[in-house]
Amino acid sequence: MAMRAGSRAVFADGVAGLVCTGCGASTDDPWKWDCDSCGPGVRRDVRYAADAPGRMRARLGERPFDMWRYAELLPVRPPSEARSPLAVGGTAVVESPALARHLGVARIAIKDDGRNASGCLKDRASAVGVMLALGDAGKLAQLRASGATVCRVAGSYDDVWDLCSVLSDRAGWLNRNCAVNPYLVEGKKTAGLEIAEQLGSEMTDWVAVGVGDGCTIAGIGKGLREAHEAGLIPRLPRLLGVQPEGVQPIVRAFHDGSAPFTATPHTLADGLNVGRPRNAVKALAIVRALGGDLVAVSDDDIVEAIGWVARRSGVLAEPASAAAFAGVAAARAAGVIAPGESVCVINTGTGLKDPGAIDRVRSLAAPIDIPLDADAALAAIARAQESHE
């Protein structure tokens, strides 16, 4: 993405350092992402000054509703208006009574991050990554002159992850992967901060989200914690993490203590097809700390969730997002979520990113061909409706 900056100039003043999520050792070296004691499998977390949550809350009223309003709890300085032409964050929370009735819970609120600039929650992490790169002014000219290069690799998610890490280390590039770069998770946590502001005293009992590497659920949990510290919500919700049955290393690690690894991961939810999650330690820690749970759902349930979520809420979810809704149904059926409880489900990406998935939804009627003649067209439509019923 970019060559590493040689100073702390790019980082916000409130960053106190990086802390190992394993042993708790801290460092003030902004590029020391691994812990010598715990090894590369354990990630670091960004820590801020103790008064940062309070300072942030005091200034929220004067700021626009986007991810940069949480400046005191972000590792980089917010961009100027000229550097931020696309809106990131500030996405809507959609209430869906019909979906709540379908799932048998008291309330469903959907944090619709499919409304971000590229239709994905990952825009939040990318925005932080871009600001890190822009802080390295000496190399920015090279990037602008060269233009972006798109590379394709014949391999699994884990294969590509390993390759990108090696390339970043050898070339001295800034690694944009959230699972290793601790600053990018800070971008994802702004979704948790926004949920806290938007729901406030009506904060739901649960927040549900799909889990791949573990970065998103770790970030959202951290954002909710910091929101609680800042007094934005009266209590913390529980987290529900959801993985596909064909790749559920974090679910199994949570329930039986096994190593978070799936040798042959397989699911149609590409964003969750991670056999070796690189942020499992953070994910497991935050779910346990907030008294949450992790469940697995089948690909069939994920696909069908796309249909019933869209029909009852108007939100079109990609498979990785639909998994969270299917997970709420599974958790409700298992008694993990009680009928009187409420849930905020995070739609991490719009279904328009994977339109082919809609064709797999068996409960949706296929398009019908009708003639140009009005009478014949109406007759054909009536026959199709009767057969669908």
Instruction: Write the pLDDT tens digit of every residue in 171-198.
Output: 777 777 787 889 999 999 999 999 999 9
Residues 255-261, mean pLDDT to the nearest whole number: 96
Instruction: Give the E-state strand segments of the chain in sequence order.
Output: 15-20, 26-27, 44-48, 93-95, 107-112, 206-210, 238-244, 293-297, 342-347
Among residues of the chain, what percentage have pLDDT more than 90? Answer: 66
Q: What pLDDT, in 10s, does the model give residues 115-157?
A: 999 899 999 999 998 888 776 744 444 445 456 676 778 887 7
Tokens of 5: 């900056």
Look at the domain 93-120+182-360 and name its fold. Rossmann fold (3.40.50)
CA torsion through residues 181, 161, 248, 272, sign? positive
How long, in residues, is the chain?
389
Where residue 356 falls among pLDDT bands split at 50, 70, 90?
A: confident
Q: What pLDDT is stored for residue 167 in this prediction?
A: 85
Question: What tokens appear for 373 in the block?
Answer: 């003649």
d(CA 170, CA 158): 19
Read off the pLDDT of each residue in 34-57 and give the average, rounded to a whole number. Answer: 91
Strand arrangement, sheet containing 342-347: 93-95, 107-112, 342-347, 206-210, 238-244, 293-297
Query: By C-alpha distance, which of 45, 92, 95 is closest to 342?
Result: 95
> What residue ranges do the domains of the chain occupy?
15-80+123-171, 93-120+182-360
Q: What is the pLDDT of residue 27?
A: 93
Name the residue among 358, 356, 326 with its Cα closest to residue 343. Answer: 326
Q: pLDDT band at 3, cuts 50/70/90?
A: very low
The pLDDT of residue 39 is above 60: yes
User: What is the model's pLDDT at position 134?
Assistant: 73
Question: Mean pLDDT lowest for which of 121-125, 192-196, 353-357, 370-374?
Answer: 353-357
8 Å CB contact between 219 and 267: no
CA dist 242 and 236 (Å) reads 19
Across the range 63-75, mean pLDDT stands at 95
Q: What average pLDDT is seen over the chain?
A: 89
Rg (Cα) of the chain, in Å, rounded?
22
Query: How confident is residue 388, by pLDDT bands cut at 50, 70 and 90?
Result: low
Distance CA 358, CA 303 (A): 8
pTM of this prediction exceeds 0.85 = yes
By the 10 Å C-beta count (0-12 exposed, 13-18 middle, 19+ buried), 146 is classed as exposed
CA distance 325 to 102: 11
Give the best-scoring range by mean pLDDT among 78-92, 167-181, 292-306. Answer: 292-306
Q: Are strands 238-244 and 293-297 parallel, antiparallel or unpaired?
A: parallel
As a whole number, mean pLDDT of residues 327-334 equals: 98
3-state secondary structure of 16: strand
Q: Which of 44-53, 62-71, 174-183, 241-250 has the lowest mean pLDDT?
A: 174-183
200 pLDDT above the threshold of 80: yes
